[in-house]
């Protein structure tokens, strides 16, 4: 009887120990779970705080807005706020209200709706205008003006925004060759001839009888087409009397064209249309002289002859 009671007590004690061990394991699992939950809460809080800080930093950074040669696609061409010859100043397709859409002085404008570009024309498709360039957005071409689809005037050759060649219809300075001869070239430009001209001003002031001056110039037609040009005296000031007036001689390729011709008193055409064949060069020499008459010429003391010789190509 006593042994049976003792066995029952041992069984109860073993069960109690088992339950006690299970309870310990349960408490341990709960503790681990709580630690995991706490770690996740801390991790989420840290991540949230970091994200909020980064967002705050980004909000504090100034937004970088493109100011010049801005692109909206990946074609490597500027789409708005386009500059002129690298001057870093928006001239064409200008975005004036910050919506990234050009709204002022647009490129490739067809003003008369004839299907052809009239203003800020990008001929070579590089994103910058090549002819009929409107620098200030007033709707009027300022540089590289194409007239009638063939001639270019007001040409800017060095990209400074100022006309260098054929300004207002004529050039300010005559192009010269290696021998310092004035040269007029009609260079072939697809799909038309590129016409240019030059001027040469001759001034005779405080001269004495026997004074002379000479100008040599060439007309070079490098095109496969027949060309035409004209020669004129313009901007003439001549206060010398007709009796003692200055004379000039003009030769072409060493053959006399005009001999002992009186200098003009007003705008005068020397030739109004001269033909020059393809791939041909004409060499002209203009000799100007205040001739010695061996009589009293003092009446023309302090008188002036000043005139510009204009040579330009024509259609």
DSSP 45-79: HHHHHHHHHHHHHHHHSPPP---SSB-SSSSSS--
Q: What is the pLDDT of residues 292-310, one digit of tens each?
A: 888 887 887 778 888 888 8
What residues have CB less than 8 Å from 232, skipping those under 6 apart? 267, 268, 269, 270, 309, 310, 311
pLDDT at 30: 79
Closest CA to 210 of 138, 139, 291, 282: 291
**And the tokens for 242?**
């007709």
Q: How far is CA 93 from CA 118, 128, 193, 245, in A?
A: 15, 10, 30, 57
Residue in the structure block whose two tokens are 């050009």? 102
What is the Cα gyration radius of the chain? 44
pLDDT at 191: 32
pLDDT at 4: 56
* Other Cβ atoms closer than 10 A to 314: 13
pLDDT at 68: 92
pLDDT at 180: 47
Residue ranges for the chain with pLDDT beneath 70: 1-16, 53, 55-64, 147-151, 157-158, 164-200, 315
Positive or negative, the CA dihedral 216, 220, 226, 230 is: negative
Which of 207-214's residues contact partners 24+ apart within 8 Å by CB, and which partners?
207/290, 208/290, 209/290, 209/291, 209/292, 209/293, 209/297, 210/290, 210/291, 210/292, 211/289, 211/290, 212/287, 212/288, 212/289, 212/290, 213/287, 213/288, 213/289, 214/285, 214/286, 214/287, 214/288
pLDDT at 153: 74
CB 109 within 8 A of CB 124: no
pLDDT at 297: 79
Query: 255 forms bridges with which residues in the sheet?
Result: 252
pLDDT at 103: 93
Whole-number Å distance between alpha carbons of 239 and 170: 26
Residue in the structure block whose two tokens are 């500059």? 83
What is the separation of C-alpha 262 from the centre of its chain, rounded to a whole number of angstroms?
45
pLDDT at 10: 64
CB 158 within 8 A of CB 170: no
CB 97 within 8 A of CB 90: no
Whole-number Å distance between alpha carbons of 157 and 147: 18
* Other Cβ atoms closer than 10 A to 195: 23
Alpha helices, H only, 61-200 = none
Residue in the structure block whose two tokens are 């054929």? 166
pLDDT at 69: 92
């Amino acid at each position: 009887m006593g042994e049976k009671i003792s066995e029952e007590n041992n069984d109860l004690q073993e069960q109690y120990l088992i339950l006690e061990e299970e309870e310990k394991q349960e408490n341990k699992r709960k503790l681990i779970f709580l630690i995991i939950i706490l770690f996740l809460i801390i991790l989420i809080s840290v991540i949230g705080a970091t994200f909020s800080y980064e967002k705050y930093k980004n909000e504090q950074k100034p937004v970088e807005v493109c100011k010049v040669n801005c692109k909206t696609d990946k074609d490597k061409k500027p789409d708005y706020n386009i500059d002129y010859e690298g001057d870093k100043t928006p001239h064409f397709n200008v975005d004036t209200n910050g919506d990234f859409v050009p709204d002022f002085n647009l490129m490739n404008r067809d003003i008369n709706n004839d299907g052809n570009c009239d203003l800020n024309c990008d001929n070579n498709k590089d994103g910058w205008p090549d002819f009929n360039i409107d620098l200030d957005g007033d709707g009027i071409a300022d540089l590289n003006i194409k007239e009638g689809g063939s001639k270019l005037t007001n040409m800017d050759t060095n990209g400074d925004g100022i006309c260098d060649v054929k300004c207002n219809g004529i050039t300010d300075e005559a192009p010269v060759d290696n021998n310092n001869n004035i040269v007029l070239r009609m260079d072939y430009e697809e799909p038309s001839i590129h016409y240019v001209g030059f001027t040469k001003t001759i001034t005779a002031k405080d001269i004495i009888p026997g004074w002379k001056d000479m100008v040599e110039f060439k007309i070079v037609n490098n095109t496969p087409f027949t060309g035409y040009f004209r020669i004129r005296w313009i901007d003439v000031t001549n206060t010398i009397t007709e009796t003692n007036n200055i004379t000039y001689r003009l030769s072409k390729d060493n053959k006399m064209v005009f001999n002992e011709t009186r200098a003009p008193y007003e705008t005068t055409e020397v030739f109004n249309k001269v033909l020059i064949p393809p791939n041909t060069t004409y060499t002209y020499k203009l000799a100007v002289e205040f001739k010695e008459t061996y009589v009293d010429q003092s009446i023309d003391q302090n008188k002036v002859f000043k005139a510009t010789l204009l040579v330009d190509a024509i259609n």
